[in-house]
Amino acid sequence: MAGDLFIRQMLLSDLDNFTYILADKASGAACVIDPAAEPVTIKDVLQKEKFTLQMVLLTHGHYDHVVGVDKYDVPVHLSGAEAIFYTPVAKRLTRTLDGEKVRLGPFVIECLHTPGHTPGCQCFLVEGNLFTGDTLFTDAVGRTDFPGGDAKQLFQSLQRIKALPDTTVVWPGHNYGSGRSGTLGELKRRNPFLACADIKEFISYLS
């Protein structure tokens, strides 16, 4: 454990989006994952906690996850693979690669490219926590019928996630399930999409 990591899950927007604030409690260095409300809403929380925003992390570029990113004057990290599909306007947009690591105080946040919902979906892994955006929800997975979606890619991405320790805590991008988070072990037991043995079975669940 690198230190004391603050995690705040905020339920925002009419689409039941989850926005996350992560912070190093010691230094107050903070990041926002998937802003789903205007910056002033999130800024209020940062100010109350006396945190300093250092960056914004985007799991993907769909509009409900990138609200107001054009107003942030900090680096905004989006997967490079999202480029031609969903690219929000941001002052300091940066492109991440699969496996790239970004730092938040003493913490290392690893970017895992998990295409399928969109070509450039990525999850963020830090201290045994996985922020999955619309790749994986507690009881379901993201849609693959939007432009750039690919069910086969999503299936492969889920296999990659399943290889992580069962103790990994999954923090989804929407409040679509019976719980707001859960360990990967719990999700393997209750999420039928994670139980699919092959792509054929997976696609049958999607339809």
Q: For residues 206 and 201, give the distance between their C-alpha atoms in angstroms, rounded to a whole number.
A: 9
Q: Is 34 a binder of Fe ion (CB under 5 A)?
A: no
| Closer to Fe ion by Cβ: residue 82 or 134 | 134
Q: Is 62 a binder of Fe ion (CB under 5 A)?
A: yes
In the complex, residue closest to Fe ion by CB: 62
| Closer to Fe ion by Cβ: residue 104 or 121 | 121
Strand order from edge to edge, sheet including 107-113: 101-104, 107-113, 122-126, 129-133, 169-172, 182-183
From the CB of 2, what's the least distance to Fe ion, in Å? 30
Segment interacting with Fe ion, rule: CB under 5 A, options 28-36, 58-66, 67-75, 158-166: 58-66
Q: Is 134 a binder of Fe ion (CB under 5 A)?
A: yes
Q: What are the DSSP calls for 48-99, one per residue?
A: HHT-EEEEEE-S---GGG-TTGGG--S-EEEEGGGTTT-----TTEEEE-TT
Count of residues in contact with Fe ion, rule CB under 5 A:
2
Q: Which residues bind Fe ion (CB under 5 A)?
A: 62, 134
